Each structure stands twice: as C-alpha cells, then as structure tokens.
Structure 1
Amino acid sequence: MTPPPDDLPSPAAARQIGDWVAGLQRSNVPEPTAAVALDCIVDTLGVALAGTKEAATRLAADEALESYAAGPSRLLIGGRLCAEGAAFANVAAAHALDFDDNSYAGFVHGSAVVVPTALAMVEAAGGTGSDLLTAVVAGAEAQYALAEAVGNGVYHDGWWTTALFGTVGAAAASAKALGLNGRVAADAIAFALCGTGGLRACFGTGAKPLLAAQAAANGVRAARLAARGLTVPHAVVEDPRGFARLIAASNFDPTTLDALGQRWRLLDPGIDTKLYPVCLSAHAAIDAVRDLMAERGLAPSDIRTVNCRVPPVVAANLTYDRPMTSGEARFSLPFAVACAMLHGTLTLDHLDEATLADPVMREAIDRVCMTADPEWNADPGRARTAPEGAEVGIETTSGERFVRFCPSARGTVARPLSAVEHAAKFLTCAALAVGQDGAERLHRKLRRLEAESDLSRLFDLAHHGGCS
C-alpha cells in the first residue's frame, strides 16, 4: 500500500483522540504505564471511600438517587444506579476531600473523574478488571494529551481544568468501555468539548467536587448519545468559534496529539499522589516546615514566625488566610503550615471544626505568612522543577533563622511515595467506610485487579459500611 503524502493535513483533534481511544488495547499499554494506572485506581477508590462521609458527596448521592434510574453500576455509599448516576455520585466522593492525585499535564485532577467514570461504565458493560484498567488509561491519556496541547495558560486564566478536561477524559473512558469506533468516539469527545467548563472561583467550597461530578456525567452522556447516533463536527478544538480560540487564547499545538500511545502522560509528566488531604499547592511548605523542625529539634513554642515565599499559582490557589471551614482549610497555607507545626503532619483527622476552633491552632495560624514571588517563574529551570514549590523561613523565639527551599513535595513524581506509603494511605481512607478488615480485603482485590472477571462483585467484601 502506498503511504499517504507527508503534507496531508492532520485529522481534527477530536477525531485523532477518538481513533486512538478506539484502537487502544490492553496489550498496547506498557507495563510501567499500566502500573501507574493501577496505582491511580487504587488511590482514587480509597480516597473516594473516605469521601463518602462528606456533605458534598451526600448531596450528590441524594441528587443521583432522585434523578437517575436504577442500574448495574455501584454507588460507593450503597445501592446501584445507571452508569451516569453512579459516575456523578462517585466522582463527587473521589474529589470531596481534595486528597486525589494531580498531573501537571494541564494541572488536572485526572483520576478523580476518570476512575469512577470508567468503573461505572465498564461495570455496566459487563467488563473485566483488565477492561477497567484499559478504560482508565484511555481516559487519562486523552484528557492529559489535550490539556498539554493547549498548555497551562487556561488554568492560570481561571478555568478549572479538572472540569474543563475531565469531561473529555470521562467521554474517552466511556467510549472505550462501550467499544465505540473511532468516528463515534470522536463524536463523543467533540460533544463533550462543546459543553465543557468550570471556574476556579469555586475553590474551598462543595461546588468544586460537584463540578468534577458534573464533568463526569457530561462525559458519560456524550458517549451514550454518540453511541445512539449523535454526530458532531470533529474540528471543535480548531474551529474559529471553538475550544482553542475561546478558552485557550488560540494556543493549540496539534502535534502534541501525535504522541498518543508513544509518550504516556501517566509516566511523563506523571502523577502526583497526595500525602496530605489539602490542595497540592500547600504540600511543599508543609514538608519544608516538618523537615526544618526535625533537623533543628524545634518545638512549636520555639517558633516565632514562619514566612513562606511561593510562586504566584500557589498564592492564587491558597486564598484563605484565616479559614473557618474544613473546605477553606484545604485551600489555606497558614492552616497547613500551622497544622504541621503543631501536630508534625496533616491528616484527615485535623480537618474538623474542633481543630479549626482550637485557640492554639488559631494562634499558630497567625504566626504564618505567605508571600507570592512574581519573579518565581523568571528562571525557567525553577518554573519547571518547582511549579508549586516553597521557600520557608522559620524565625525562632531566640532570634535564629532557618531557611529551607522545597521544590517538590513528598508524593510528587520527583519524590514518589513508596508502595508501603501508598498502601497505608489506601487502608486509612478505605477503613473509614468499610472498616479495617474490609479495607485490607479490598486492597488485595484491587492490587490483583486484572484477575477480576466480574466487576459487579469487586466491592463484595465488607459486611458493613457504604459498600455493603
């Protein structure tokens, strides 16, 4: 067969992604990529189980139970709905605690949307654990590739990229679960893009996880409508009235999509797994304070002030200097640093009203100052290696001053969690919903996910809690 001329135009972005999603097979996924995808599945489901106790999750679940039909896909709080309803409720749970993973391909909480959506859709389709892993890879790589193609400017402009690109990831994962061909998968992705959006103005409130849930539901609906025959112009990214011009200031590099299936975004730039249940922008400062206190033998009473110099994006994310609610605390650098100073770490147990109201905590928060450095990104090397880093200076009551620069927090790609730390996080989170024994049994099943031939029985392991 004669190869096509080199000067033929590339297919539209949605069609290029759709064709890749349709052609992806488990055998195409390298084992290192599959291993990261499995970590994403395990971590996300653990965090989602912990998130079932949150008010935003309960609101989403109540809405789903009232609005959606019964079906084959499991709700993490209990019961079953159609795939769209389950995805809506379970994605809210996955992001309710802001403890889910991130990727710098677009500043996206990718797994929180893709994993529960893929689970709901593959379960509805009667698929296997291997099918689930493949659908997760399809959704993750699709959203990260498009996010990378338009650049991170959309995030800095105020768009919330998890909702913006999450609907693409959900549509791609759903298309894979449904076995759609390339043209129909492209219709799903194009329709998802036509209606996508999300504003960072909602940070610190229950609207944030619900926007992620809405993105998931929209992606599922886009795939199902495409499967029923909906056709959509595939050039919705490139169109003068389309995604790139209206949302990304016309920034779009179509050659980035050529790397789908060749460079795996799950490996590069990779996935940051959170060690602390707050916005990732606070993590480097937490680590710097913990390390300085341990190295210098400092007690909380030894510290007069903590000054944190951070990049502008960190200051833009962490907008609550004096948080009054747990939602605000997740986006507060003074709270995160004060918690590390007083307790040596920051866990889910610290995100409650009693901790926030504690006079000792309020006084510690008053000792923490955050300063945005407008020149942070002037050095391209620092902008690349420390996008959410922190330089922390501690002044002691005796007049000493100690400084620590932390470019990357524990759990990021540069400083990944160990397998033991991954497991400990999952068990701590999942036990809140299914008990310690149930969490251990589920962890063993998830680590052997590809041996699961019937996903409808994946959570049949606990005799109490949300998954019974």
Structure 2
Amino acid sequence: MTLIPDDAPLPAAARRIGDWLAGLRRSDIPEPVAAVALDCIVDTLGVALAGAGTEAARLAADEAREIYAAGASQLLAGGRLCPEGAAFANVAAAHALDFDDNSYAGFVHGSAIVVPVALAMVEMTDGTGRDLLTAVVAGAEAQYALAEAVGNGVYHAGWWTTALFGTVGAAAAGARAFGLDGRTAADAIAFALCGTGGMRACFGTGAKPLLAAQAAANGVRAARLAARGLTVPHGVVEDPRGFARLVAAGRFDPAALDGLGRRWRLLDPGIDTKLYPVCLSAHAAIDAVRDLMVERGLAAGNIRAVHCRVPPVVVANLTYDRPATPGEARFSLPFAVACAMLYGTLGLEHLDDATLADPALREAMERVSMTADPGWTADADRARLAPEGAEIHVETVTGERIDRFCASARGTVARPLSAAELAAKFLTCAGRAVGPEGAERLHRSLRRLETLSGLPGLLDPSPTMAVAHDVDEYRS
C-alpha cells in the first residue's frame, strides 16, 4: 500500500468523487441513510406520475420519443427508450409540479434528477432494487457534497443549482449503475461539470423542469461517454479556468469531499419533503397562517390583511405578486397565503386556471403583502434555523393584530412528515395517473424495493407487478 504524505496535494475533486463512487456498495450505506433514500424514491416517483400529465412533461416526452432511440428504460408517459431519453422525459415530469424534495446542501432539488436517472440506468443494466437504491444514494451524495464544497453563494448569485449540480448527480448515479472504475467515473463527473449550468431566471415557467431534464440527460450522456473511453482532465473544479473560479467566485473547500461515505448529506442537512406543491420558500408562511386561523377560529372573511416578513431569499424566489398562470402561482406568496386563508390548505387541485380566475382568490391575494428582512441573514442562528422561515402579522377586521413566527415548515427536516402523511401524498399524486388501486399496489411494491430482483414493470400498476416475497433471497 502506498502512503500519501501529509503535505501531498489532494487528488482532484472529480477523481475523489469518482473513487468513492467506484467503491460504494449497498453494504456501505447505513440503514438510516437507506431509509431516507427509499423515501426519496417513493416520493419522487409519486410526484413524477402526477407531473407526467403537465404541459412541460408532455412536451419533454414528445421530444424524447422523436430524438432518442428505443431502449430498456420506461417512460412514465408510456413506452421505453434509451436511458438518456427516459431520464429527459421522466425528470421533466418529476419537477414539473415543483412538488419534489429539496436539500439545503446547495439549495438543490436532488431527487427529481437522481431518482429517474438511476431508474433508467439500472433498468438498462438489468439491475435490482438494491442497485437502484445504491445508485440513488451515489448520485445524491455526490451532488450534495460538491454543492457544499462551493457554498450557497452560487445559488444567491442567480445560478439554478438543481440544474448546475444535478448534472453531476446524474453522472454519478449513472457511473454507479454502470459499475465504472474510479478513473472512468471521474471522467464522467469532470465532463458533466465542464458543460453544466442553469439560471434562476427560469422560475415560474416550463423552462424550469425542462432545464432539470436537460441536466439529467447531460449527466447520463457523460457517464455513457466515459464508459466508451472519453477522458477528461480531472482538475476541472480546481483549474484557474474551471468550475470553482467561473461559477463560485473561486470558492472551493475540498474538505467537504472528505466526508463522502462517512458524513451522509441525506441525513445532514437532510431532505425536505414538500407538503404543498409550490416553492418551499412559501411553505412556512402557509403553515403559520393555517395554524393561526385554526387556533383563533378565524375564517378568511375575518382577516383584513396578512403581512409576511421573510428572509431575502424568499423574496428573491417568490417573484410573482399577482400570478397569471399555475407556473407563476408556484412562485407567489400572495397566492399561497390566499389559498391557506380560503381553502385551509394548498393542494394540486388549486393550481389551475379556474382557481386563479376566482374573484374570491384574487381579492384575498390583495390582502397579502411580503417584505424582505435584510437582518435575517445577518443573524447566524436565525439564518441557520429558519433559512426560509416567516414572521406573519395578521390584522383582523375588528382591529386585532396577531403575530406568528414559523421557522420551519411541515415536511422539512426539523418537522418531518409522518409515514402516514408520506403515504397519503404518494397515493394522491400517483392516483392521478394510475387510479387509487394502482397507486396502492405501486406504493406497496416501492416500499419493498430491495426485494425486487429486477425492475421491468416497476412502474406498471397492474396486479401482476413482480414483487419478491423473500427478502433474504436478494441480499448480497
């Protein structure tokens, strides 16, 4: 064994990630991490089934069928394509409703890219349910670690980190599914990084899920090209002309990669699972208004005004004061709070043109205002504990003023959803595509993912779905 001197330079970031990917086995993943990864898989596929019927997802599926070859990987919209094509279409569906999960390791919607990519790649390689879970962990941890290494300043500068780092997550999931060695996996990561990008200017439009789809397809292509022999300089993060300097203003902490396989980002900072199908920046305000109204017995007609004081990042994300489309409504605090006032919640059924055109909703939105608190991020504890929190000040028609602070919304790591709530979300989402009985069958199958000896038919909701009954039969 060769020992590296203490003062020896570290291997390039891409090579460090590649070597970790090559060595990762299911047996290396602690059970708490595997449990979170399984939740990510179930939640993402449920949301993707619901999202498959959206305009953006249909556009992606039509494009994929036209330009990609047939293959072994299933499209949620029907048919099978090569992994790149399936990833492109299915990732668009997974992110189309903005109902997919999120992590504060880079402000990344990690699962929407990694889960469909891992599924497509593992299907192509005739892998098992255990292989799928391992590939999801590989992709998630790789992208979150790199995101932490360059810091959240990238997001605040205007980069859309889901596309930016999602390409890396896709390449990493693909490299693990392919079983690439460390050097080749590093080539895949490096090539993915060389061409990555994405801007937050796309928020509120169909471009957002399609950019996620494009990032996924690029990551799959990077893994496939590396497997075919493409070589790329591994120092693309550290190079003076490379990723850290051009994208992150030179910020790069290589120590963030030291914890791969020891510190699991799926646990810390963890995964926020959405209870509402809108941008997470609106969730704390929704919860605060809902809880306050229940506790005080208030109806929408009792409220004269709702003033929301929030961190600057919330204002930067929720840019549509008077949304005209469901896409814009997903990035509108007045819409989110008005729904909480009128309906007691915010569900998929509220994100349609009819709801947006409702005069009662438009009038309720006029009663909601939002102000950025520049001191929020200056308070280190508040910024850490309530990164997208909300201070709500409600004025009633009788002149009473009621204040409420919500640091973390339901579904975030601080306030996780229960198993029953997670199941209800899946059944609601998947039921839109496959009906209640099909959703129940699919949920049971996904919850037993690691018993599956193969993935063909995984998303087939028919009663003949193949599920292994002896868990130990497929342990390795």
Report if TM-score (shorter chain) is over 0.5: yes
After the TM superposition, which residues 165-244 of structure 1 pair with which residues of structure 2 at under 5 Å, given as runs? 165-244=165-244
> What's the CA shift string for 1:386-445, capped at 9, x where partnerless?
000000010000000000010000000000000000000000000000000000000000
Q: Does 1:356 align with 2:356?
A: yes
Following TM superposition, by how much is the alpha carbon of 1:461 offset from its aligned partner in structure 2, in angstroms? 2.6
> Matches of 1:459 and 1:46 in 2, distance apart?
10
Asked whether the 8 Å contact 1:188–1:225 carries over to 2, the reply is yes
Q: What is residue 118 of structure 2 aligned with on the other side? A: 118
Asked whether 1:144 is paired with 2:144, we answer yes
User: How many matched pairs?
Assistant: 464
Q: Secondary structure at the match of 1:457?
A: coil
Amino acid at match of 2:261: G
Aligned to 2:280: 280
In the alignment, the residues of structure 1 paired with residue 460 and residue 240 of structure 2 have an alpha-carbon distance, to the nearest angstrom, of 50
Rounded to whole Å, the distance in 1 between the matches of 2:333 and 2:366 is 11
What is the alpha-carbon root mean square deviation over aligned residues?
0.9
1:266 aligned counterpart, secondary structure: coil
**TM-score, scaled relative to structure 2:** 0.97
Letter in 2 for 1:289: V
Q: Partner residue of 1:344?
A: 344
1:389 aligns with 2:389: yes
State the one-letter code of the partner of 2:142: A
Q: Which amino acid in 2 is paired with 1:125?
A: T
Q: Which residue of 2 aligns with 1:373?
A: 373
Is 1:155 matched with 2:137? no
| Contact map agreement 1:318 1:332 (CA 8 A) in 2 | yes
- What is aligned with 1:91? 91
Unaligned residue ranges in structure 2 (runs of 5+): 464-476
Counterpart CA distance in 2 for 1:444 and 1:30 is 23
Using the aligned pairs only, state the percent identity. Answer: 81
Provide the secondary structure at the position in 2 that maps to 1:403: strand
Matched AA of 2:148: E
In the alignment, residue 52 of structure 1 is paired with which amino acid?
A: A
Q: Distance in 2 between matches of 1:439 and 1:8?
A: 54
* Mapped partners of 1:384, 1:375: distance in 2: 13
Residues 263-318 of structure 1 deviation map (CA, whole Å, 9 limit, x = unaligned): 00000000000000000000000000001101111111000000000000000000
Task: Kindly provide the CA deviation profile for residues 48-78 of structure 1, in whole angstroms up to 9, marking residues without a partner as x.
Answer: 0000110000000000000000000000011
Letter paired with 2:129: G
Distance in 2 (alpha carbons) for counterparts of 1:190 and 1:82: 23
Contact 1:438/1:461 (8 A) holds in 2: yes
Give the counterpart letter for 2:68 in structure 1: Y
Deviations 1:339-367 (A, max 9, x none): 00000000000000110000000000000
Structure 1 gap segments, 5+ residues each: 464-468
Q: Is the 8 A contact 1:109 1:162 kept in 2?
A: yes
Quick one: which amino acid aligns to residue 63 of structure 1? E
Amino acid at match of 1:56: A
TM-score, normalising length: structure 1: 0.98
Match of 1:466 in 2: none
Which letter maps to 2:303? I
CA contact (8 A) 1:167 1:192 kept: yes
Deviations 1:89-112 (A, max 9, x none): 000000000000000000000000
Give the match for residue 257 of structure 1.
Answer: 257
Residues 34-60 of structure 1: CA deviation (Å, up to 9, x unaligned): 000000000000000000110000000
Instruction: Report if the CA contact (8 A) 1:15-1:234 is conserved.
Output: yes
CA contact (8 A) 1:83 1:124 kept: yes
Instruction: Find the aligned partners of 2:301 and 2:78 in 1 and give their Cα distance.
Output: 46
